Every structure is written in C-alpha cells, then in structure tokens.
Amino acid sequence: MNLAGEFWQHKRCEWPRFFILMTIALNLAIIFFPNLMDPDMKKIAVIIGSLRKESWSRKLAKALIKLAPSSLQPEIVEIAQLPLYNQDPDDQNQPLKEWTAFREKMKNVDGFLFVTPEYNRSVPAPLKNAIDVGSRPYGKSIWNGKPAAVISCSPGAIGGFGANQHLRQSFVFLNVPCMQQPEAYISDISHLFDADLNIIKADTKEFLRKYMEAYAEWVEKITH
C-alpha cells in the first residue's frame, strides 16, 4: 500500500472515535449549557419562600419547573444560606461572601419566579431577607427592571393571598415589573400531589401550565 493509502486507512479508523467524542461533547453541552443550543432561552431564578425541606412551596416550585415552556430555563436559587442583612459590611466594602455569591448569580438571570407560603399574613422572613440582600448596595439592586411572577400557596382556603400581595408592594419600590394576570393563589395545597409529587388535580395542573405560558410571554415582552 502506498503512503496515501496508508494515510486514508488510518483516518478511516479515527473517524468513529471522533464522532463518539463529538456526540459526548454535544450531550454535555446540552446538559450544562442548554442556552447555547437556544440563545433566546431565558434564565429564570425560582425563589422559594419557605426553608422547610419538604415544604409545599418547594414541591410546587418543582412542579412549575416541569410545566415551564421550552423558552424558559428555570432553576431554584436557594436563600437559606443568606445571613440577615446588615448594611455595615456593605458600607465597609466588605460584603459577606454569601451575599456576594447570591448577588452575582442573580445578576445573570433574566427574570424571577417567586413561590411562597404566607406567614402571619405576610412574606416569610427568609424571603424578605433575600430581597433586602439583593437590593443593596443602594443603586446596585439585582432586581431592577427584571420580569417577575408570584405564586402563593397554603393548605388553607385563601392560598397565601396576604404574602402574595405584600410581596408585590415591595416590587413597586424595587422597580420589578410583576405579571398582573393571571394571579395565582393555590389553596388546599396539601391535597394537590400524590406520593410521587405528581399533580393529581387536572384542572389545577392545566391552570399552572397556562400560568407558566403567560409568564413566558411576560418575560419575552419585558426583555425585548
């Protein structure tokens, strides 16, 4: 066999390995960097008001992520690690590392989805603290101008109405354009899921699907 023949014989042996490696690389890119495949996909921070591990808000948030349209990339952003806000470290230009990590992460998202219970007719303290941390230092708020939506839930009959409305008051000052309609107050949340956390009420599931579609449209409207 001449040199040219040996060269192409060697290359034919390398092609299968090349395609296998490229396939693996592509799959990893889809998993870890899904927005590279669709640059118009919007990153949405899902913020849960309750810190309880098995909270209904967390279960609802996970269900909403599954129901989100393909134009959204929702991801839960934890807030339990945030120390209570105190302006002194910011004034000394020594912000706590947990605050800095949270602020930097939130700067890179396109919108916010808040899923919260109601505590004493108001917003849970950890959620209010996260809002305060993100709003400072003054003039550098990570919330400013980004589209939001609020879903409140409760085992009771009014679906966390107080927390939902109280949170919206903060949005006015923070210049967060919050989706007005549809509103979402999920009552009787303790009977919404089966043992595998599937939504068992078909009408509620359809409402939540439409809610997420409406939010996707809201995000598109605000960010363009």
| Long-range interactions of 132-139: CB distance < 8 A, separation 24+ | 132/85, 133/82, 133/85, 133/99, 133/102, 133/103, 134/102, 134/103, 134/106, 135/174, 136/85, 136/87, 136/90, 137/90, 137/95
Q: What is the pLDDT confidence band of residue 40, given thresholds at 50, 70 and 90? A: confident
Q: Which CATH class is domain 40-223?
A: alpha beta
Domain boundaries, the chain: 1-32, 40-223
Question: What is the tens place of the pLDDT at every residue in 64-111?
Answer: 999 999 999 999 999 999 999 999 999 999 999 999 999 999 999 999
Quick one: pLDDT at residue 224? 86
For the record, the structure tokens of 141 come out as 């708020």
Counting residues of the chain whose pLDDT is more than 90, the rounded percentage is 80
Q: Whole-model pTM above 0.85?
A: no
Question: What is the tens place of the pLDDT at every residue in 125-146?
Answer: 999 999 999 999 999 999 999 9
